[in-house]
A and B are shown apart, each in its own frame.
Chain A
Amino acid sequence: MDNQSLDSAAVLDAHGLSKQVSSPEGTLTILSDVSFSIRAGESVAVVGPSGAGKSTLLALLAGLDLPTAGHVILNGANLGELDEDGRARVRAESVGFVFQSFHLVPSLNALENVMLPLELAGSDDPRSASRAIIDKVGLGDRWSHYPAQLSGGEKQRVAIARAFATEPAVLFADEPTGNLDSQTGQNIMELMFELNKNSSTTLVLVTHDLSLAGRCDRMLSLDAGHLVSDSRAAA
């Protein structure tokens, strides 16, 4: 582990993150020297215009991709020092995801989709734990339906149930309402914040909806790959 100063309560620590990719036009810098620290239980919105580097930052924080420079410490583990399987194990233990396009496994029914991360983490009784959480998101009577038989809002509920099923230390949400109409989106966010509050999970929410971001404890603004502001809600 690096000997940098760590916030004692930090669950997620980004230090000097940069990401460059090569393109036909030359090297492209997507993120440039981004550092911040997130404490356990905090809810943080990452905002910025399209192309600001929000999704890239999310990918680096969750260990889905590796930075060109800098490092991420997630729940005590330096992701840069782990191989792909090592990072996967960290995710299995400490991370939940909610995606814009739901990403349910089409060949599994709602309950089985929720069970999936529990099984990957080696849970003893994934079925009853999943039944409980699927009841919580209001789909208790539709657990046997396949993704193709569910509406967009219902799919996102299943995705949220799946994200909370493992009681992750950090929940990453990438534009979770992006594919939903505004009413459904609002309901989904209510559900997410409520579950977040009850389980004291750390929430990292990528969005370009400022009103949604305003409901978080803290807001990180990105522009052209730079962290331009880090503000806490007045409340």
Chain B
Amino acid sequence: MIFPALAYLAIFFVVPFWSLFKTSLSTMGGSIFLPQLTFAWDFSNYGHALVTYQDQILRSLLYAFTATVVSLLISYPLAYVIAFKSGRYKNLLLGLVVLPFFVTFLVRTLAWKTILADDGIVVHTLSAVGVLPPDGRLLSTSWAVIGGLIYNSMTFMILPLFVSLEKIDPRLLEASKDLYSSSFRAFRKVIFPLSIPGVLAGSLLVFIPAMGDFINADYLGSTQTTMIGNVIQKQFLIVKDYPGAAALSFLLMAMILAGVLSYTRALGTEDLV
């Protein structure tokens, strides 16, 4: 019974990675319309990608990291309130958190473009208060891109956090109170450590897609805010430099893997799922 599904995944998930790997070590000849790939153990593709796109690589790391941290900081209070303080409104609140799922991801991002537009209400308000950077723009800045990454990934930070918080027995908290711990101390010593699986799952679900994203940088950013995803997309589909783009894809995977491993080690849990 497991054979059909596993065979399907082997053919259309594992084999493609082999193709990608092969492509990343190939040299390309022929024309842009009829590229000829020759497998040649050509590791120079990697070095070349690393050097040419170092800006995008560093930017992706920085954006994805910032988005993950901010997302965690603003999602935690909401997940906490839903898990512990919502009473009979719990399901309603969870429903509200999930609701934006049902609007196409691209249309949501476009909406942010409307909101942050140069003649939009946010820019007007901020410039009236006088807290806008000199050029007076929000759109096409790094912060717009990071904001988009945060927005599009918040729900998948909130849900795992909620799941892990909800599993905590409230009596543990009462016990810590009975033993004269302050609210903050109870949070630091009891709740937070027990919610770490959620923190871990949520962070990964935010970090991984943020590293590979190109929509937010494309819609909300400028040529100064391109990320690895933008390059991979462009090199694959427009420039058709398949070996270079494939090599960059593997570099991206390697960075994500390194990030995930060091992060799980730092949080001291091996449970990825």
Do these two chains interact?
A: no
Interface residues of B (CB under 8 A from A): none
Interface residues of A (CB under 8 A from B): none
